[in-house]
């Protein structure tokens, strides 16, 4: 089905079996700078699934490159055994393996002991996102770092990797050297464009010197950093062309964005508001100017998109990293024509880059087996097949039903309404979040493939369970909106966010206050929905800012939309009461009243309340039952799906 995507591609002296690439992405699976068994298992799953090339996450080339407490380091020979284990696990599957060589320059996030590091850069120019002022590198340090690229590459070569990639993307150190707004040096590493390119050129020369001519060395670069102070696109393009023309870069991997600014960083892992394959026009421009292979990233989450990009000549291979975080088997399924069975990434960013930002190993909300390969990577067949009744067709129930049936149990899933999906059916109705509903399409497919019997419009109570007499009941009955106690006078219009999402037209004309408890998509999305319907909206949030519990890139995009829609955000307030034209809030720190007047109504996005009645009844009656998802405690889709996996793996 995908003749271009599944044709071989030669890069330097290495031939990839296909053009599906997992690019370097920090997994938070390194330990003390070293490759771990967990990281090996993670990448082996992607190799087994059919990836043509895996580029391992960044590895520091110098002691000053520790940008997080969990970065890999390739600064001494102790790294070799770990990389060797990676190569031994990945390459037998026919997948080529490269490593990323990295220095963040001023883009540092944290240190292991919680203190701030002394960041370095070509010049003392601050970075906006992490609000860091670096010190200028000394000449001797620059030469040490350049030598570090060569030494690190040689270690990876000795470990059996096929090549390395110099990370000049996203505003990291090589990009800082290239950027005239960041590199103010007047020595040989600055002054002119050739001087600003010297760092990168000498880094490649160092790799060539240490590794010899046959070892692949590529360049990752942002052709548009999407930041007014970022690396100008024409300079990035010229540098890429020059390194390729001089035989230094064997391939060019094109991305976009920068770590240095909030808006620029949103392109590091663009969320579902970015169009699929939106970077391809940039890679096409570069591909027309060079003769080496060009790779491209940018929310390419389905093989159809990748095939189109390659067939159109916009790139030679496609970076599909999150597509394989979500479904490691995606390449093999695509090649076999089983496209309906691919679990497509929905661009939510919650468990992949979201976990990374929180300092936890990455995973996927739809596929919690990711990052937990050693525990859940292989389904254990049930020792004794059981009759399992799953009550509730939200994400938790769907996952539990699919996994239990895959293990050989006889599973029937009961959903009280006419459609499975639970709260995802609300989330997908919010502005810009239609793709989120893909999570239910994917889980439903898993349920179907596993042979689960699904009964819709089938509310289940204790007598119904006793009549069926299953071996086990998995209770996934979800949650319902929570209403905090309020002082109410004169009959104000008050509604739960869920009601408004289902029927935005139900809100009376005029100004609406949305009271937001969790700082997630519910309050923000409801506010946007009402603003789009013509209401003046005030979003009253309990925390420091709207969207506080969302992954940064997702939050940024939503906050930008909120700003464009002229929604007023009131931080640090809780709802206290309402009358027919005023909403009374209370400052959470001072307890002083905050009034919003001339209001037509109040919408409560105040979290939810567990629907745990069936679970309690079963437990009282001594019926074997296990609760999962929001009926235990309302959380997110991620925890619901993980609960389903864990519970069903134990049956
Ligand atoms: Fe994609 Fe969301 Fe999974 Fe990340 S957590 S891989 S964005 S579906």
Residues 37-86 pLDDT 10s: 999 999 999 999 999 999 999 999 999 999 888 899 999 999 999 999 99
Distance, CA of 568 to CA of 571 (rounded, Å) = 10
- Which segments of 49-170 does DSSP mark as H helices, in order? 80-90, 139-158
Distance in Å, CA 650 to ligand 1 centroid: 25
CATH number, position 510: 3.50.50.60
**Residues 6 or more apart whose Cβ sits within 8 Å of residue 175:** 168, 169, 182, 221, 222, 225, 231, 236, 258
Atom of ligand 1 nearest to the CA of 352: 4
Distance, CA of 572 to CA of 589 (rounded, Å) = 7
Give the model's pLDDT for residue 67.
87
Among 574, 589, 606, the domain boundary falls at: 606
Task: Specify whether 463 is located in the same domain as 323.
Answer: no
Among 375, 393, 420, the domain boundary falls at: 375
- The number of residues in the chain equals 651
Atom of ligand 1 nearest to the CA of 326: 6
C-alpha torsion angle, residues 158, 161, 162, 168 (rounded to 10): -100
CB crowding 31-60: b at 16 or more within 10 Å, else e:
eebebbebbbbbbbbbbbbbbbbbbbbbbb
Strands 511-516 and 494-496: unpaired
Task: Specify whether 266 is located in the same domain as 201.
Answer: yes
Give the model's pLDDT for residue 1.
86
Which of 29, 93, 92 is closest to 56 using CA atoms? 29
Distance in Å, CA 271 to ligand 1 centroid: 9
Q: Residue for token digits 């739809």?
A: 366
Give the model's pLDDT for residue 112.
66
Task: Specify whether 582 is located in the same domain as 636.
Answer: no
Distance, CA of 286 to CA of 294 (rounded, Å) = 8
% of residues, the chain, pLDDT over 90: 97
Distance in Å, CA 340 to ligand 1 centroid: 18
Whether 201 maps to a domain, the answer reads yes
| The two structure tokens encoding residue 160 | 């059996």
As for how many domains the chain has, the answer is 3
CATH number, position 438: 3.40.50.720
Distance in Å, CA 253 to ligand 1 centroid: 22
- pLDDT tens track for 271-311: 999 999 999 999 999 999 999 999 999 999 999 999 999 99
Task: Specify whether 531 is located in the same domain as 636.
Answer: no
- pLDDT tens track for 167-194: 999 999 999 999 999 999 999 999 999 9
Atom of ligand 1 nearest to the CA of 347: 7
Atom of ligand 1 nearest to the CA of 322: 6
Whether 166 maps to a domain, the answer reads yes
Atom of ligand 1 nearest to the CA of 271: 7
| The two structure tokens encoding residue 131 | 């609000």
**Residues 6 or more apart whose Cβ sits within 8 Å of residue 318:** 5, 19, 20, 21, 295, 296, 297, 300, 305, 306, 309, 310
Task: Specify whether 559 is located in the same domain as 524.
Answer: yes
Name which residue sits closest to atom 8 of ligand 1, judged by CA.
345
Among 326, 360, 375, the domain boundary falls at: 375
Name which residue sits closest to atom 5 of ligand 1, judged by CA.
364
Instruction: Identify which of 46, 270, 324, 326 to mutate to test ligand 1's pocket (most ligand atoms within 8 A of the CB).
Output: 326
Name which residue sits closest to atom 1 of ligand 1, judged by CA.
345
Q: How many CB atoms lie within 10 A of CB 259?
A: 25
Instruction: Identify which of 23, 273, 320, 325 to mutate to test ligand 1's pocket (most ligand atoms within 8 A of the CB).
Output: 325
Distance, CA of 569 to CA of 539 (rounded, Å) = 5
Instruction: Identify which of 26, 330, 365 to mutate to test ligand 1's pocket (most ligand atoms within 8 A of the CB).
Output: 365
Distance, CA of 121 to CA of 107 (rounded, Å) = 9
Task: Specify whether 615 is located in the same domain as 574.
Answer: no
Distance, CA of 599 to CA of 602 (rounded, Å) = 8
Could you tell me if 46 and 332 are in contact, meaning their C-beta atoms sit under 8 angstroms apart? no
| The two structure tokens encoding residue 20 | 């599906």
Whether 593 maps to a domain, the answer reads yes
Task: Specify whether 301 is located in the same domain as 324.
Answer: yes
Task: Specify whether 94 is located in the same domain as 111.
Answer: yes
- pLDDT tens track for 140-173: 999 999 999 999 999 999 999 999 999 999 999 9
Phi, psi of 562 (to 5 degrees): -60, -40
Whether 615 maps to a domain, the answer reads yes
CATH number, position 232: 3.20.20.70
pLDDT less than 70: residues of the chain: 111-112
Task: Specify whether 511 is located in the same domain as 549.
Answer: yes
Atom of ligand 1 nearest to the CA of 363: 5
Task: Specify whether 141 is located in the same domain as 59.
Answer: yes
What does pLDDT average to over the chain? 97
Could you tell me if 412 and 450 are in contact, meaning their C-beta atoms sit under 8 angstroms apart? no
pTM, 2 dp: 0.97
Whether 3 maps to a domain, the answer reads no
Print the domain residue range for 334: 9-375
Atom of ligand 1 nearest to the CA of 439: 8
Whether 4 maps to a domain, the answer reads no
Pocket of ligand 1 (CB under 6 A): 322, 325-326, 345-352, 364-366
Strands 20-22 and 251-256: unpaired
C-alpha torsion angle, residues 283, 288, 294, 300 (rounded to 10): 30
Task: Specify whether 469 is located in the same domain as 495.
Answer: no
Distance in Å, CA 342 to ligand 1 centroid: 13
DSSP 8-class letter at 250? S
Instruction: Identify which of 23, 269, 349 to mutate to test ligand 1's pocket (most ligand atoms within 8 A of the CB).
Output: 349
Whether 292 maps to a domain, the answer reads yes
Instruction: Identify which of 25, 321, 346, 439 to mutate to test ligand 1's pocket (most ligand atoms within 8 A of the CB).
Output: 346
Instruction: Identify which of 22, 348, 442, 642 to mutate to test ligand 1's pocket (most ligand atoms within 8 A of the CB).
Output: 348
Whether 2 maps to a domain, the answer reads no
Atom of ligand 1 nearest to the CA of 350: 5
Distance in Å, CA 347 to ligand 1 centroid: 5
Which of 260, 97, 276 is closest to 176 using CA atoms? 260
**Residues 6 or more apart whose Cβ sits within 8 Å of residue 384:** none
Task: Specify whether 385 is located in the same domain as 249.
Answer: no
């Amino acid at each position: 089905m995908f003749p271009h995507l599944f044709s071989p591609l030669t890069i330097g002296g290495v031939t990839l079996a296909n053009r599906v690439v997992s690019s370097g992405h920090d997994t938070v699976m390194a330990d003390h700078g070293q490759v771990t068994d967990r990281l090996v298992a993670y990448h082996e799953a992607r190799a087994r699934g059919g990836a043509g090339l895996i580029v391992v996450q960044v590895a520091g080339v110098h002691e000053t490159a520790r940008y997080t407490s969990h970065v890999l380091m390739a600064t001494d020979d102790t790294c070799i055994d770990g990389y060797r284990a990676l190569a031994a696990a990945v390459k037998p599957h026919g997948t080529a393996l490269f490593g990323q060589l990295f220095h963040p320059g001023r883009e540092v996030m944290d240190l292991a002991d919680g203190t701030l590091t002394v960041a370095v850069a070509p010049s003392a120019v601050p970075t906006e996102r992490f609000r860091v002022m670096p010190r200028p590198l000394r000449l001797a340090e620059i030469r040490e770092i350049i030598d570090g690229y060569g030494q690190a590459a040689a270690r990876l070569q000795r470990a059996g990797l096929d090549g390395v990639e110099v990370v000049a993307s996203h505003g990291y150190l090589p990009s800082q050297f290239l950027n005239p707004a960041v590199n103010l040096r007047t020595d040989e590493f600055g002054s002119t464009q050739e001087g600003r390119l010297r760092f990168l050129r000498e880094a490649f020369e160092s790799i060539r010197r240490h590794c010899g001519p046959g070892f692949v060395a590529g360049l990752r670069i942002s052709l548009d950093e999407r930041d007014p102070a970022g690396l100008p696109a024409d300079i990035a393009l010229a540098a890429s062309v020059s390194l390729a023309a001089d035989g230094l870069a064997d391939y060019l991997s094109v991305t976009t964005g920068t770590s240095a600014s909030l808006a620029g960083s949103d392109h590091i892992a663009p969320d579902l508001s970015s169009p699929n394959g939106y970077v391809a026009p940039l890679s096409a421009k570069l591909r027309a100017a060079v003769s080496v292979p060009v790779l491209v990233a940018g929310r390419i989450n389905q093989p159809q998109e990748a095939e189109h990009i390659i067939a159109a000549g916009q790139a030679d291979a496609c970076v599909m990293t999150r597509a394989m975080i979500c479904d490691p088997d995606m390449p093999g399924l695509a090649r076999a024509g089983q496209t309906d069975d691919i679990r497509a990434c929905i661009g939510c960013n919650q468990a992949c880059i979201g976990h990374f930002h929180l300092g936890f190993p990455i995973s996927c909300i739809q596929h919690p087996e990711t990052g937990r390969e050693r525990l859940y990577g292989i389904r254990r067949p049930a020792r004794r097949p059981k009759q399992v009744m799953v009550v509730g067709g939200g994400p938790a129930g769907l996952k539990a039903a699919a996994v239990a049936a895959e293990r050989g149990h006889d599973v029937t899933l009961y959903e009280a309404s006419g459609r499975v999906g639970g709260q995802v059916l609300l989330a997908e109705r919010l502005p810009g979040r239609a793709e989120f509903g893909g999570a239910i399409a994917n889980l439903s497919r898993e349920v179907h493939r596993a042979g689960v019997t699904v009964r819709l419009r089938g509310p289940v109570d204790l007598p119904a369970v006793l009549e069926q007499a299953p071996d086990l009941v998995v209770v996934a009955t979800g949650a319902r909106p929570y209403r905090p106690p309020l002082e109410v006078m004169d009959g104000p219009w008050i509604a739960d966010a869920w009601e408004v999402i289902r029927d935005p037209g139900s809100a009376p004309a005029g100004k609406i206050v949305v009271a937001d408890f969790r700082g997630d998509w519910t309050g923000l999305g409801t506010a946007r929905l009402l603003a789009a319907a013509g209401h003046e909206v005030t979003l009253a949030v309990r925390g420091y800012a709207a969207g506080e519990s969302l992954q940064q890139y997702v939050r940024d995009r939503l906050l930008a939309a909120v700003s464009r829609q002229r929604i007023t955000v009131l931080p640090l307030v809780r709802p206290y009461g309402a009358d027919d034209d005023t909403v009374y809030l209370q400052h959470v720190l001072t307890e002083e009243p905050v009034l919003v007047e001339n209001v037509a109504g109040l919408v409560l996005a105040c979290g939810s309340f567990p629907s745990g009645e069936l679970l309690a009844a079963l437990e009282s009656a001594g019926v074997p039952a296990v609760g999962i998802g929001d009926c235990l405690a309302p959380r997110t889709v991620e925890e619901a799906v993980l609960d389903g996996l864990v519970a069903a793996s134990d049956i």
